Amino acid sequence: MDYLKTLRDLFAFMKNTRLSETQMRELQNQKLRALLHFVWERSAFYRHTFEEAGITEKQLDRLPLSAFPTIDKTILMEHFEELITIPGLNQEQLRKFDAENTADRRPYLGKYHVVHSSGSTGKPGYFIYDEAAWHTMLLGIIRGALWNMTILQILKLLAGRPRIIYIAATDGRYGGAMAVGDGIDGVGAKQMYLDTVQLRRSFALRFGMIALLGSFLGTIFSAFLTDPLVAVLMRLEGISNFSSRPGIFTILLPGAVVVIWFLLFAYLAAGRIRRTPLTSLMEE
């Protein structure tokens, strides 16, 4: 997404919030009629379904929405090739693309954004957006997230570099995660992925850094203070000349052992993250 284009189009979207109810209904009706004519001309499934319901092309501009037949996900998947308005695309091609490529945001054929459902009904459904449709969908998400904010307020918010957490499954081409990723790019922000493995590593690394700092300070103090303190004790026992003369290895080894043990125990202790509810992790 282009940053300036995103803000410009978002501003145009937000202008619609100032329309009266009558103006809004008229705008919605215009868009609905344009969509009905579009699918009549380009989708064999919709044209056939409308004709079976007794709807002619001339009636597309005047029939209420309730007069048109409805479809569900099952029908959509069964008639995908007839329903789609882009010739040559089918579900099997999209499944193959998904199976052969990692779940990133790379477009199919370089121009179509592919997302799929979770498959909770038995088989995942694949859906595609061209660049214009994807951009419009992202604008809707951004507008919803920044609802009731002016463009100046949005710019001020973005200038403050806010940190926003979004919890989503990342093991597939799920629409929410992919849309949020592109939306983040669109407003010039940075996306960071975090899972339980990364949380464990981060937890262990922080403790390791603390242990490293403590070992470093301990090594410095021991290097300068060990000989004088031990020499005092030795003189009390009648030994007047004492010098330990430690080498680099004997100086660094204790600190390295401490840091490694801290890292290991911190990583093992962080294993409970897998059993901790996400809401608790967010609060902590």
Q: Which of 1-15, 53-67, 134-148, 166-180 has the lowest mean pLDDT?
A: 166-180
- Terminal alpha carbon distance of the chain: 34
Structure tokens at 159: 């200038």
| pTM score, whole prediction | 0.58
Cβ pair 278, 165 in contact under 8 A: no
* pLDDT 10s digits, 239-257: 666 566 666 666 677 778 8
Last residue of one domain, picked from the residues 143, 165, 186: 186
> Does residue 51 carry a pLDDT above 90?
yes
Q: What pLDDT was estimated at residue 57? A: 93
Domain boundary among 153, 186, 219: 186
Rounded (10°) CA dihedral 45, 47, 53, 58:
170
* Neighbouring C-beta atoms of residue 157, cutoff 10 Å: 13
Q: How many domains does the chain have?
A: 2
Q: What whole-number percentage of the chain has pLDDT above 90?
A: 17
Q: If you average pLDDT over residues 129-133, what whole number do you get?
A: 86
The pLDDT tens digits of the residues spanning 16-43 come to 878 899 999 999 999 999 999 999 999 9
Residue 272 CA: distances (Å) to CA of 170, 263, 277, 284: 21, 16, 10, 14
Domain containing 207 equals 196-283
Residue 64, pLDDT score: 92
Q: State whether residue 112 is helix, strand or coil.
A: strand
Residue 172 covered by a domain: yes
For residues 79 and 172, state if they share a domain: yes
Least confidently predicted of 31-45, 105-119, 170-184: 170-184
Give the pLDDT confidence score for residue 141 in this predicted structure.
77
Q: Between helices 151-159 and 3-15, what is the axis angle to 10°?
A: 150
- 98 lies in a domain? yes
Which of residues 160, 186, 212 is at a domain's end? Answer: 186
